[in-house]
């Protein structure tokens, strides 16, 4: 594949080995911004087609991204088709958005050879791991487990029959409303009237599901997840279960001795065994201050990388792909990052650990370091603009609001209690060991987009999540204009 750079050839080789040579269900690629994940994905699709896998689905966040993938597919001589609606599954190689995917029964009813998720963190963005329609669609489309797959596929195939039944129930409910029956009870009564019809329809779906699985045989849907930041939280990792890791296979011997309702099972057991979560009074709880969570995260990531289920790379040199790709770092950002690490991992600060960990999750930490780097990046960009060059600045997150990050004294009470004395002693120890960090003023720090706007004004074309597709397209077109910075 001459269109790929050597690093991307290596990426495709690793993906092929995992999915096809080792016959595993999925792989997660966490390559950083600028490394060409789209081309890595396209190379994987190209090789899958060569293997005779003709039914491939690509899912992206927006229609703009759909257009980008289709244009790049043409360079590989691949006919990647955009789905026209939520009642269209297309033929052979198709691409759509997450919005279409979760509302498209035709797509869910298909058995796919390969599914490629661009920005796969969009599958589950809830930090509590609560799955919505996108997660359910993902499970159905990729045929995650045989116990539910058949019924899910059949229900998608029989979508119109289920929709007609629900319409009858909703039409009947207002007719029953009145007297002792409020709207909620009337709906329940309407469902009861149609219970026999409903049960018969579900039984039909179950029978059809078994037949679909029998027709499918041993053929397995392969899944490629592409995302620089794949998980919103530990609990959001659940969307990769069964593809990137298997609970039973990854679990170590760190399980707490517990019985009855305090025994973690399934994905809860995975979190307890690998990331320090605990079962208390029948409920999964966050790791305590005595747990070195970053060390456990690294251990788990190393384990997944060693198994071939996950890999990632960053731009490590100033020049990559004949362009000046620069990772922006400075001493101030390194100071903040090092101080955060010390508080969260040093046994001298158990009381401060609890305060800081509540204030600072992984994304907040990234926002802070990016904001600190933003001014330096803008200064560097200005020098390039003076030379008549165009500049692209990549960043991950938009907002930052962390006044008094290391101002622990406001947590002191005024009762001079024993606990207050212990906290005061911990703060004094921190201040003496980290004098530069203790006095940092972070209030009023601007996010990367706000910093660039303040420095460059109308010269900066910002492209960010949440923008309407037309606005993003205008910004992209303006940047590529010959007289644009």
Query: Per-residue pLDDT tens for 362-420?
Result: 666 666 777 777 777 888 888 888 877 778 777 766 665 555 667 777 777 766 677 77
Name 280's bridge partners: 283
* Residue 88 C-alpha from the chain's centroid: 26
| 371 contacts 446 by C-beta, under 8 angstroms | yes
**Lowest mean pLDDT, pick from 81-90, 114-123, 301-310, 343-352:** 343-352
Closest CA to 250 of 295, 205, 303: 303
pTM: 0.62
Place of tokens 């080789």: 13
Q: Which two tokens stand for residue 133?
A: 């329609």
Q: Which two tokens stand for residue 208?
A: 């059809």
Segment 143-202, tens digit of pLDDT: 876 545 666 777 777 777 888 888 888 888 888 877 677 888 888 888 888 888 888 888
Measure CA of the first residue to CA of the last residue in the chain; give whole Å. 33
Q: What is the mean pLDDT of residues 311-321?
A: 61
Q: Would residue 248 be called left, alpha or beta, if left means φ above 0 and alpha means ψ between -120 and 50 degrees?
A: alpha
Place of tokens 């009145």: 178
Segment 2-32, tens digit of pLDDT: 678 888 999 999 999 999 999 999 999 999 8
Q: With a cut of 80, say whether residue 308 has pLDDT above it.
A: yes
- Residue 47 or 478, more confident: 47
Q: Average pLDDT of the chain?
A: 79
pLDDT of residue 418: 73
Segment 39-63, tens digit of pLDDT: 999 999 999 999 998 899 999 998 9
Q: What is the mean pLDDT of residues 304-316?
A: 86
pLDDT of residue 239: 93
- How far is the CA of 91 from the CAs of 79, 105, 112, 125, in angstroms? 10, 15, 11, 30
Q: What is the mean pLDDT of residues 195-211?
A: 80
Three-state DSSP string of 281-297: CCEEECCCCCCCHHHHH
Q: What is the mean pLDDT of residues 110-125?
A: 92
Three-state DSSP string of 341-399: HHHHHCCCCHHHHHHHHHHCCHHHHHHHHHHHHHHHHHHHHHHHHHCCCCCCCCCCCCC
HSE-up of 254 (CA within 13 Å, CB side)? 17
Q: What counts of helices (H) and strands (E) characterise the chain?
A: 20, 11
Task: Give 385's contacts (C-beta < 8 A, 6+ positions apart).
Answer: 391, 459, 485
């Amino acid at each position: 594949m001459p269109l790929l750079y050597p690093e991307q050839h290596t990426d495709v080789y690793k993906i092929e080995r995992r999915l096809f040579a080792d016959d595993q269900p999925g792989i997660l690629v966490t390559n950083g911004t600028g490394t060409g994940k789209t081309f890595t994905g396209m190379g994987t699709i190209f090789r899958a087609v060569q293997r005779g896998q003709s039914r491939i689905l690509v899912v992206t966040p927006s229609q703009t991204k759909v257009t980008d993938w289709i244009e790049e597919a043409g360079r590989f001589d691949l006919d990647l088709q955009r789905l026209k609606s939520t009642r269209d599954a297309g033929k052979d190689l198709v691409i759509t958005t997450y919005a279409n995917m979760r509302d498209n029964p035709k797509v869910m009813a298909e058995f796919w050879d390969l599914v490629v998720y661009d920005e796969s963190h969009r599958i589950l963005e809830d930090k509590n791991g609560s799955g919505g329609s996108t997660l359910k669609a993902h499970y159905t489309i990729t045929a995650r487990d045989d116990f539910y797959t058949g019924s899910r596929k059949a229900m998608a195939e029989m979508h119109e029959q289920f929709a007609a039944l629900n319409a009858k129930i909703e039409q009947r409910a207002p007719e029953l409303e009145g007297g002792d029956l409020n709207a909620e009870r009337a709906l329940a009564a309407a469902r009861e009237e149609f219970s026999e019809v409903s049960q018969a329809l579900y039984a039909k779906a179950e029978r059809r599901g078994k037949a679909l699985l029998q027709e499918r045989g041993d053929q397995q849907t392969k899944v490629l997840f592409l995302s620089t930041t794949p998980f919103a939280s530990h609990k959001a990792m659940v969307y990769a279960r069964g593809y990137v890791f298997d609970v039973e296979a990854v679990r170590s011997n760190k399980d707490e001795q517990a019985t009855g309702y305090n025994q973690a099972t399934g994905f809860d057991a995975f979190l307890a065994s690998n990331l320090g979560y605990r079962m208390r009074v029948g409920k999964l709880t966050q790791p305590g201050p005595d747990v070195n969570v970053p060390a456990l995260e690294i251990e788990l990531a190393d384990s997944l990388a060693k198994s071939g289920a996950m890999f990632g790379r960053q731009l490590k040199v100033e020049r990559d792909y004949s362009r000046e790709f620069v990772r922006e770092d400075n001493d101030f950002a390194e100071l903040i990052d090092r101080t955060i690490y010390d508080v969260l991992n040093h046994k001298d600060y158990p009381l401060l650990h609890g305060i800081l960990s509540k204030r600072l999750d992984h994304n907040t930490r990234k926002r802070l370091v990016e904001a600190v780097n933003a001014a330096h990046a803008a200064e560097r960009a200005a020098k390039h603009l003076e030379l008549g060059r165009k500049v692209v600045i990549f960043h991950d997150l938009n907002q930052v609001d962390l006044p008094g990050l290391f101002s622990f004294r406001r947590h002191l009470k005024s009762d001079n209690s024993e606990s207050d004395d212990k906290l005061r002693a911990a703060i004094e120890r921190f201040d003496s060991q980290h004098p530069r960090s203790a006095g940092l003023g972070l209030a009023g720090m601007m996010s990367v987009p706000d910093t660039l706007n303040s420095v460059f004004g109308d010269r900066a074309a910002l492209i960010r999540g949440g923008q309407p597709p037309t606005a993003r397209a205008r910004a992209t077109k303006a940047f590529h204009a010959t007289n644009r910075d």
